[in-house]
Amino acid sequence: MKSIKVGLLGIGTVGGGVFNVLKRNHDEILRRAGIGIEIAMVADLDTARATALVGPGVQVVADARAVIANPEIDIVVELIGGYGIARQLVLEAIEAGKHVVTANKALLAVHGTEIFSAAHRKGVMVAFEAAVAGGIPIIKSLREGLSANRIEWIAGIINGTTNFILSEMRDKGLDFDVVLKEAQRLGYAEADPTFDIEGVDAAHKAALMSAIAFGVPVQFDKAYIEGITRLAAQDIRYAEQLGYRIKLLGITKKTPKGIELRVHPTLVPNKRLIANVEGAMNAVMVHGDAVGTTLFYGKGAGSEPTASAVIA
């Protein structure tokens, strides 16, 4: 049986997860998809490490454009990240008639309109389930599961780093700076955590959900963005005394005046399910006119949770 041949651009944490999950669950994926999915080619600057990871039978190259140029590759999976070379490679893959799968929310939030227009012209798909909320299938839910509804609003904890920090501040009564250092030590926060703690990462994801929910172009540049850096332990404590928990929420909402798109610390009544989402977990609430309020919960990052979404 012919299998779908995939080219991976980047085999770091997520790429390694994609390779391992595809290998481990090959028979189950074949049963569900009706066709095999095979990683036939990998591009990574560290070819020695990549070769050791994938073993014999998979071609490893340093030049990502060699993957795009290979006529046998059906789908290009972009896992490089960032706005620069990733944008060029995605557009080149589309121009070559390849379907593209990406986990790159920053790229799509900033250049999504250009990328989706190029894909539409060439008749190929750009799939990005892994770009929002890790392993939670929120993109498919918005596109398909809730397609009978007029979506009225979405509110979500969509950045695990900030949720971990806020959870630790509440549990231990510590200030932001102390907990951030601990989060970096444990690997929950990057060495440069700016995108996370200033709300930019959550805004990237909220912009993508807003575009799908309301049928508008991706408009990250119009989002109101406020992070958690100014929160102190006493803010968390006072909120708790009043019956609230502070969560960094990405919110998009349809109003008579237009669409709201915002990210900021929010007081959430502590009896609400989403207020009790702790640690690095993610949760997204979606309110539709027919279904009412739904809640999607799960791991928002990590090698295999994100790989789950890439493969899907």
> Residues with catalytic annotation?
205
Kindly report the number of other CB atoms within 10 A of residue 199's CB atom.
27
215 Cα distance to chain centroid:
19
227 Cα distance to chain centroid:
18
Q: Are 74 and 100 in contact (CB under 8 A)?
A: no
With a CB cutoff of 8 Å and minimum separation 6, the contacts of 231 are 166, 169, 176, 246, 265
Structure tokens at 245: 């928990």
Return d(Cα 15, Cα 103) in angstroms, integer. Answer: 10
Kindly report the number of other CB atoms within 10 A of residue 141's CB atom.
17
CA atoms within 13 Å, Cβ hemisphere of 295: 11
The candidate with the shortest Cα–Cα distance to 61, out of 76, 48, 74, is 48
H helix intervals, the chain: 13-24, 26-33, 47-54, 64-69, 85-95, 105-122, 138-140, 160-172, 176-186, 194-197, 200-214, 233-241, 303-311
Residue 139's identity, in one-letter code, is I
Interstrand relation of 281-288 and 151-157 (parallel, antiparallel or unpaired): antiparallel
Return d(Cα 133, Cα 158) in angstroms, integer. Answer: 6
**In angstroms, how far apart are the furthest CA atoms of the chain?**
63
